Amino acid sequence: MSTETEVRTGVYEAMFLASQTAAASFGDLIDHINSLFERADAQVISMKKWDERRLAYEIDKQKRGVYILAYFKCPTDMVPHLERDVVISDKLLRVLVTSADHLSEEEIASFNDMDGLATEAKLKAEAGEAEESSASKKVHLGAPVASEMAPAKEAPAEPAPEAAPEAAPEAAAEEADEKPADS
């Protein structure tokens, strides 16, 4: 009698939902998902970016998310560990893992877009670097340059016009005396 047990493996489909902030560094997100698969002793068959959409309801104050579809082979007892790792992750909001027994290997291979993921990660990284360099050109640290220090010349303030002096009450009384009375 042998005490060894046979490890059952299955083919699974996983839909990952990543936050918009995590998707900003797309290469890191893909590396994070691959590290989760490594922890679960999974072999990735295919992976692709499915879509970027507005969520039906906010999840962790996120209104938009990026969906990544993956097919993988994994020991059946490691699937709950993969799901738990996603719950713990701060880059991934949700995951749905289902069995992919209904698909043939050719169909699963047709979903493979790992080259496209690598290209997109590279392009987003280059765009992020370009954006950072243009933003750094606008920021000035330290003392301002002499041209920035020159104050705008202001016109001398004119004194407010003085109000017309009121007639003295005595002059008003004299004017009233000079008018003839109507009788």
Distance separating alpha carbons of residues 48 and 118, to the nearest angstrom: 10
pLDDT of residue 171: 53
Q: What is the pLDDT of residue 113?
A: 80
From residue 29, give the alpha-carbon distance in Å to each of 67, 72, 168: 11, 17, 87
Helices (H) then strands (E): counts for the chain: 7, 4
In tens digits, the chain (183 residues) has pLDDT values of 556 678 899 999 999 999 988 888 888 999 999 999 999 999 999 999 998 999 999 988 889 999 999 999 999 999 999 999 999 999 999 999 999 988 888 888 888 888 888 888 888 888 877 776 666 666 555 665 565 555 555 555 665 556 555 555 555 555 555 555 554
Rounded to an integer, what distance in angstroms lies between the CA atom of residue 17 and that of residue 55?
10
Please report how many Cα atoms fall inside a 13 Å half-sphere around the Cα of residue 52, on the Cβ side: 7
Residue 22 CA to residue 29 CA, distance in Å, equals 6
| CATH number, domain 9-132, options 3.40.1030.10, 3.40.50.10680, 1.20.120.1810, 3.30.70.60 | 3.30.70.60
Q: Flag whether the pTM goes above 0.95.
A: no
Q: Residue 182: its pLDDT value, please?
A: 56
Q: Is residue 45 within 8 Å of residue 11, measured between CB atoms?
A: yes
pLDDT given for residue 23 in this prediction: 87
